[in-house]
Structure 1
Amino acid sequence: MKKSLKIWSSLIFILFIIPIILEQIPSAIPKDVAVVPIDEQKIVYAANIFETESEVQTDMRALLYNTHSHEAFEPITQKHDGKIAVSHQEVNIMALSEKVKTQLEFNGVGTDIIDVDVTAEMNKVGIPYHKSYDVVRPYVQKALNDAVYDIILDIHRDSLKADRTTVTYKGEKFAQVVFVIGGDHANFKLNQELAEKMMFEMEQIVPNITKNIVFKSGHGVDGKYNQDLHERLILVEIGGIGNDEAELNRTSVVLAEAVFQTLISEAQSTK
């Protein structure tokens, strides 16, 4: 009788203690926080958590800016203030540039951002939208005069819906990338060459994450996009108006890794 009582007491204790133990075990990663493995040494959370300490120290430097600084993404503006918008003065493409900067620095690429809200400055004095590249140009020129950069990215988003700007890979959605090259200047092929190298590296990480390069030249388009200022300056569109924050963040991880791999490959080829 005493032996049976001890057995039952032990079972009751175990049933009581199991829930307490389970509460102490860390829960699984929430579904809305996705991880993107670039390699075995780099696991970067792609929703809102970003690595802040670089594993690699290099002399490589990047410059980022946003000619169309109020370009926005509908899911993000809706989450911010309940309004679906493709242009927003608070939550816009500038925030994405900050995330790209974080990822570049994690990869050891020192990164500067031109700290100017181009659209806001234009709105203050009534400059029309199509003059954006003219307005940002002196800021870019000054930055290039002040420092030497290995790559300069003018970051935009496409105007297409999410079904045309999204790719799924290994169960995760990524915002697709388009590089735009202006053909109305003498050295555009050098800008094109850099874009092609970037595309190659991105495709090694996530197949179909890039689309074909878009060339613009002739009447009715800018044709330069300030790429005549530097052979390492390229315009990159990350996603479209319908991509959400997690998709954009995943792509920022891939883009930053591709920049690093491109610059490393170029440095090795010159040795």
Structure 2
Amino acid sequence: MAKSLKNLTSILILLFLAPIIIATVQTPLFMAQPEQVEEKKKEDIPVVYAAQLEKKQPVVQVQEIIEPKKAFVYFTHSHEAYQPILAAQGEKVAIYHPISNITTFQDQINAQFAFHQLQATFLENYNKKEMDDYHTIRPLVQQAIGQNEYDIVLDIHRDSAKANVTTLRSGEQSYAKFIFVVGGEHPNYRWNEQLAQNLSNQLNKLVPGISRGILLKEGKGVDGVYNQDLSKNLLVVELGGIDNNEQEINRSIAILAKALSNMLNEQLPS
């Protein structure tokens, strides 16, 4: 009887202590699981975030050009030619030609300008069979730019300098260099000079060294005005020299179109 009572007492004590023992043993196990999950999550977050950053591209806000910028283009000395082009055509090597001359690049200029959202208008109503000069072409230019507004006016020439001055080798390509002539004998020439400098800078950003800079001309033996008094946006551009070939000139026209677009739309990334 005494032994049965002792066993009963032991069972009651064990039943009383069982929940405490179970709680003591199991609670740390259950508590450990949330901590491990939380720790794992913390380790994963930087990895996922870093992967997202690597894939994310920088956002560039580009303002759409609603209307193309307008350029008026003409060739005062329309007979200026390039010797390699004449030679390739079997022509007598010369620096002037009534047909195969700088005006033959009009289509290339028009196409490259259009590609960069520049609308080019060319002076057409003059006699290309005759050699023009600044005085004879002046009223035609004055009339054209008086009837329409243009963002830029370009009088494009060919320089008389040789290849060592007018050719740039950049990487695997060669280019015809530019130089800008500014006449210093009219009151507002600083406008033309600053515009020429801006375009020269844009050219050299695209292809370092492709622009030879600004040539300010005044005094005896030069025109000194070059019709730039007609517009502060009028630039006299020398495109290459007598030794530049067709490929070099075409490449430079493409760079000129891009540089003009960048300059006239400075809010856009270049």
Question: Are the counterparts in 1 of residues 156 and 237 from structure 2 also a CA contact under 8 Å?
Answer: yes
**TM-score, length-scaled by structure 1:** 0.72
Q: What is the 5 A alignment of 1:179-198?
A: 179-198=180-199
Detail structure 1 runs of 4+ shifted over 2 Å in the superposition: 55-59, 116-122
Aligned-partner SS, 2:181: strand
Q: Deviations over 1:231-269 (max 9, x none)?
A: 00010001000000000000000001011000001xx49
Q: Deviations over 1:78-108 (max 9, x none)?
A: 1123321110111101112332222111111
Partner of 1:209: 210
Q: Deviations over 1:13-59 (max 9, x none)?
A: xxxxxxxxxxxxxxxxxxxxxxxxxxxxxxxxxxxxxxxxxx96633
Identity of aligned residues (%): 40
2: CA distance between counterparts of 1:164 and 1:233?
A: 24
Question: Are the counterparts in 2 of residues 58 and 109 from structure 1 also a CA contact under 8 Å?
Answer: no
1: CA distance between counterparts of 2:94 and 2:177?
A: 20
Paired positions, count: 205
Partner of 1:82: 91
Q: Deviations over 1:111-140 (max 9, x none)?
A: 100014556345xxxxxx7xx100000110
Q: Deviations over 1:206-241 (max 9, x none)?
A: 000011311111122100000000000010001000
Partner of 2:107: 98
- Structure 1 regions of 5+ residues with no counterpart? 1-54, 123-128
Structure showing greater radius of gyration is 2
Partner of 1:133: 134
Letter paired with 1:75: P
Letter paired with 1:98: D
Partner of 2:252: 251
Structure 1 residue 238 and structure 2 residue 247: aligned?
Answer: no
Question: Are the counterparts in 2 of residues 68 and 119 from structure 1 also a CA contact under 8 Å?
Answer: no
**TM-score, length-scaled by structure 2:** 0.72
Partner of 2:154: 153
2: CA distance between counterparts of 1:156 and 1:206?
A: 20
